[in-house]
Amino acid sequence: MKRRDALRSLALITGGLVLVPSCDFSKEDILTAYQNLQITPSLQQLLKDIAGTIIPVGNIKSAADIEVQDFILVMVNDCIDADGQKSFMQGLQGFEDFSKKSGGSAFAKLDQSGKEAVVKAALAIELPENTKPEDPQKATKEFIGMAKRFTVQGFMMSEYIQTQVKPYSLIPGDYQGAVLISDLKPERING
C-alpha cells in the first residue's frame, strides 16, 4: 500500500515540476478593481507619486499620504468615457518616458524639485492645432490634466480635510444673533 502512495505522490510532483516552467511569473499583476483600466501596482505607485507632487506634504498631509490615487483611478474608471480612459492610460504609461526626456531620470528617482519640474513641464505642453489623437504629447497633457483635477477634488473631499483641516458641520450651528464680526474666528481653509 505504501508503494502505491509513494508512486502517486511522485507522479503528482513530476507533473507539477513539468508545469512550473510554463507559468510566467515575470508579468506584473493587473489590479481587478478597475475593470476599464489596465492598472498594475507600479502604475498605481507612479500615480501616487504624481499626486504627492501635485499636493506635497507641508503643514498638512500630502495627497500621497491620504491615498488620493485610488480616488483618481475610481473616477477615471467610472466617470470618464472610453476615449478619455484610453488617453489617461496612454499618458500614464508614457509618463516615465516623458519624465526621462524632460527630467533626465525616472520619475520615482527624481528629488521633489525635479518631480515638480516634470509635472510643470507636462502641464505646460503646448499642442499645435493639427495634433494627431495618438500623439504621446497630447496623451501626456490630457493625463496630467485629469490627474491634477481629480487629485485636488479627491484631496478636498477626503475625510482628513473634512474632519481635521476644515471641520465639516452638517448643520451650521446654533443661531447667535448678538455676535460681533470681529469676534468670529476665520475657518482654516488652507490648514
Q: Mean pLDDT per 10-residue run, the chain (191 residues)?
A: 77 70 61 78 93 93 93 92 92 92 90 93 87 82 94 93 79 73 70 49
Question: DSSP letters along 70-82, please?
Answer: HHHHHHHHHHS-H
Residue 147: what residue type?
A
Cell matching residue 33: 478593481
Q: What is the pTM of this model?
A: 0.74
Ordered by start, the domain boundaries in the chain are 29-169
pLDDT the model gives residue 10: 76
Question: DSSP letters along 22-51, please?
Answer: GS--SSPPPPTT-TTS---HHHHHHHHHHH
pLDDT the model gives residue 5: 80
pLDDT the model gives residue 85: 92
pLDDT the model gives residue 23: 61
d(CA 45, CA 55): 15
pLDDT the model gives residue 103: 86
Contact 99, 105 (CB under 8 A): yes
